[in-house]
Each structure stands twice: as C-alpha cells, then as structure tokens.
Amino acid sequence: MILVKAMAFVNSIIAARLLTPSDFGAFSVVLNLEHVAVIMACFGIPLALTKHVSQWLSSDLPKASAVGSALLAMLLISAGVTTVGYLLLARLISVDLYGSEDLVMPIALSAALAFTASINLGMSSLLQGCQRIRALAKINAIIAVVTQPLMLALIWILDLEGAIISLALMNGFSAVLLFSRVQKVLSISTRNARQVLGEKRQMRSLLSFTVPAFASSLLIVAAFWIGRTVLALERDFSMVGQFQIAESLSAILLIVPAAVSVPLLPLVSEQNATNPREVGKFSGRLLTLAAVFALPLSLIAFPLVDPLIEVLYGAGYLGASAPAALMLASSTFIAIGAVVSNTIIGVGRMWDALLLNVAWLLVFLPAAVILVSAWGAEGLAGAYAISYGIYLSLLLGYFSHRFQVPVARMGCLISGYAPFAASYVLLLRQESLPLGFGLMALAAVLFAIVGIRFVLDPQDRDRFARLLTRRG
C-alpha cells in the first residue's frame, strides 16, 4: 500500500510537469468522475471480499474460496454494466455539465480505466482478505518499475488522453499479475459461484454488508467530485489543479495509516470471529500509535510546503501552498480516524459506518459550496479540514462507546486536538508563529504520552509479524 501511495504521488508530479495547469485540473476532475464510476461498479464488493474471506479463512477455507469466487463474479458483471453506462454518458457530462467538447474523449477513455480499476481492486481485496500481503507488495513493486516510464511517454505524446490511457494500462497490467494469485485461492473451493449466490442466508449476509458499504463509498467519492466540480465551475480548471497538488502533498501523511490498514482489516475480521472482546483493546492501541505517527509528519511537512511545491511541481503552482497546509490538517484527522473506520468495517457494522459518513457529508457539502465561492481552492481545503475534524470527533466518541474503551484512555489523544487545531490557524495566518509552533509541540507531547503508555504489546507485534511475512 505504501508503494501504491508513492506511485500516485509520482504520477501527480509527472502529470503536473507535462500538462498545462488547465489540463492538469481537468485530469483531476476526470479522475474523480472515474472514481465515482468505480464505486458504482464495485457496489461495495471489494470490502466484502476482504471482510468475508478473512472471516472464514482460518475456520472454513473452501467456503472462503467459494464466497470470493461468487463476489468476484458479481463484480465482473457490475463493472461491465457500469462501464457501458458511463461511456454512454461521456458527451452529456462533458458538454452539458462542464461546457467543454475537449473533455468528451478523456471522459470516454476513463470508462476503460474505471473497468480495469474495478477488476484490479476486487482481486487485490481478495488477496488482502487471504492475508497475502507480501504477494500484493511484490506485484505493486513490479507495477511501479514497469509502468512509470510508460506514463511519462504517453503523457509526452498524447497529453491529457495519454495520462488516462497510461493509468488504464497500469491497472490492466496489475490485474493480469494478480489473476494467477487469485486463481490459486479460487481453486480451493468445492462449490461454484452459482451455488453460493443461490444460498439465501449467505446472500442476505453479503448484501447486508455490501449495500451500506456501497452507499458509504459512493457518498464520499461523489462528494469529492462535487467539490472539485463546484471549484471548476466557480473558478476554472487551473484552480482545480492547484487543489490537486495540495491533496497530493497531504497524502504523504496517509502513507502510514494506509500501510497499517492493509493488515488491520483482515486481522480485525479474523479476531472478531474468534475473540471479539479483544478487538477494542487491539484497535485502541493502534489508534494511539496512528496519532503519534501522523502528528510529527504533519509538523515536519508544514514548513516544507512551499519548497516542496516549487521543487516538485514548479513555481507556477505556489498558489497551492495555503490549500496544502489545510489539507495537511485534514490528512492528520483522516490518518487517526482510519484505524476506527477499519475496525468498524472489520466487525461488520456497515450501517453505523454509513451514518457516520452521512454526518460527514452534511458538514462537508455546505462548507464546500460556501467556502469555495469565497476563497476558491483554499476554501475547498478548508471544507475538508472542518468536516474531517468533526468526523474524527464523532469517530472517537463512537469508538469509546461501542468498543467500551474508556474516554480517559484517549484523554491525551483528545486533549491534543485543541492545540493542534489552534496551531494551524495561527500558522496559516502567519500571526504569532512562535505560539503556533509551541502549540503544535504541546500537541505532539500529548500524543506522545498516549503512544508511550499504550504501545503495542508483544502479542500484537507477533500477530502483525506473522501476517506481514505470510507468503502469497
């Protein structure tokens, strides 16, 4: 997962350097639209693959394989239908919504990207559920080495269309490499996909998970797309490009939680099936460690925003500095909350996850519309920071109540919140910089106290070590 994040970061630099600011903004909008199509194509199936396959992995391997086969068959059909529908809507979206004939071909090409990305995501999720973490890492390494030069060449020759084609080829190549691994898992099954889909009890269980998972994912990705669309219509595509750079830089903070989430979801699912009482304790320790890692990264990245943008993307994108600083704050909130989100998914409480995401949406959309009109890209970044700050508060409250984790245990984590938020306000406005950095240091100390007190115990370390060294 670290390689995936790193690839995305490098891709954003290549695209920003080779495309014009306006084309780079259009590329960002098209990718977000493609993400919406992927969510609709997947229908929550990738999360269900990870959750249900890992749940049955240790107790009933043939059943885990049969469930995986059935879900992949559903995903293939859904992806095909969604891709055709998306392709037919390409001109309508480009001309009627954005008022641009130039986007017809990029949006049409992104339909192929949506299909390959959906299949790739499904097979990756199956291997994640089977806890084949090393196999996934090896495949991602191969993709990183082989496809980056291809992307560089295609963008150089075909501009915006080349960027989209390169991503489609990248996902297609990854799917081919994943197929041989997936085939080994599916060959264990003693039942075919049709038999599993015909079992009413099994289908009810799958649908009770996939429907809210689909709704949650669609709400989030559609909201991201709406935010960028409002920014493009209120300002222009070059402003969207500035926001995309801000988001790409802030994604540095998400590398650690992204890496942790790969083994965390199958671990929680397996533990919930065997020893549910330990889930809260285990996730609570990971939650505090995520905070300890995220805050220092934010502290280091904040003063480096301007030089990083200038060196990596060019001086023409220095307008992304303020949005990038705000996105660093939101990424810190996301990094901490990712542990709780994966725990909720791991125990199968998808309707709870949906309600929490609806609460986030009710804050984000009004904030985005109001703030974008006033401050452009900086306003959209502010909407992210505000909505995810509130969302993290809700997640911590939910986690404490549902998993019976005492609030006192998270006291330093919660108390570190206020000085962290205040420091960002002071530093962004460049008022009283010593006080701003002092408040950040105080927040870092409070988070560190939590990390030292509730560090992973030897049993948890062994559990992670076994998972990460398991061969695929």
pLDDT tens digit sequence for 368-413? 999 999 999 999 999 999 999 899 889 888 888 888 766 555 555 5
- pLDDT attached to residue 254: 72
- pLDDT attached to residue 303: 76
Do 368 and 383 contact (CB within 8 A), yes or no?
yes
Position 338, amino acid? A
- pLDDT attached to residue 146: 76
Q: Is the pLDDT of residue 275 over 60?
A: yes
- pLDDT attached to residue 358: 96
* Most trustworthy range by pLDDT among 79-88, 258-267, 272-281, 290-299: 79-88
305 CA to centre of own chain: 22
Average pLDDT of 298-303? Answer: 74
Average pLDDT of 116-138? Answer: 84
Q: Is the pLDDT of residue 458 over 90?
A: no
Question: Which tops the pLDDT comparison, 237 or 284?
Answer: 237
Do 237 and 100 contact (CB within 8 A), yes or no?
no
- pLDDT attached to residue 87: 94
- pLDDT attached to residue 456: 47
Average pLDDT of 258-275? Answer: 65
* Confidence (pTM): 0.82
Phi-psi region of 249 (alpha: psi -120 to 50; beta: other; left: phi over 0): alpha
In 317-416, alpha helices (H): 321-346, 350-375, 377-402, 411-415
| Mean confidence (pLDDT) of the chain | 81
| Beta-carbon contacts of residue 82 (< 8 Å; ≥ 6 apart) | 37, 40, 41, 114, 118
Average pLDDT of 179-184? Answer: 81
Nearest to 265 by CA among 68, 64, 125, 399: 125
- pLDDT attached to residue 471: 47
- pLDDT attached to residue 465: 56
Average pLDDT of 357-363? Answer: 96
What token pair was written down for 114? 């949506």
Nearest to 64 by CA among 208, 279, 270: 270
Q: Is the pLDDT of residue 427 over 80?
A: no
Q: Is the pLDDT of residue 19 over 50?
A: yes
366 CA to centre of own chain: 22
CA distance 433 to 428: 9
Render pLDDT for 203-232 as a digit per residue (tens, 0 to 9): 677 778 888 989 999 999 999 999 999 999
CA distance 438 to 333: 20
Positive or negative torsion for Cα 326, 160, 17, 3: positive
Write the DSSP string, 363-388. HHHHHHHHHHHHHTHHHHHHHHHHHH
CA distances from 455 to 286, 332, 405, 451, 467 (A): 8, 19, 15, 5, 19
Average pLDDT of 95-114? Answer: 93
Domain positions in the chain: 1-209, 235-472
- pLDDT attached to residue 472: 46
CA distance 81 to 349: 28
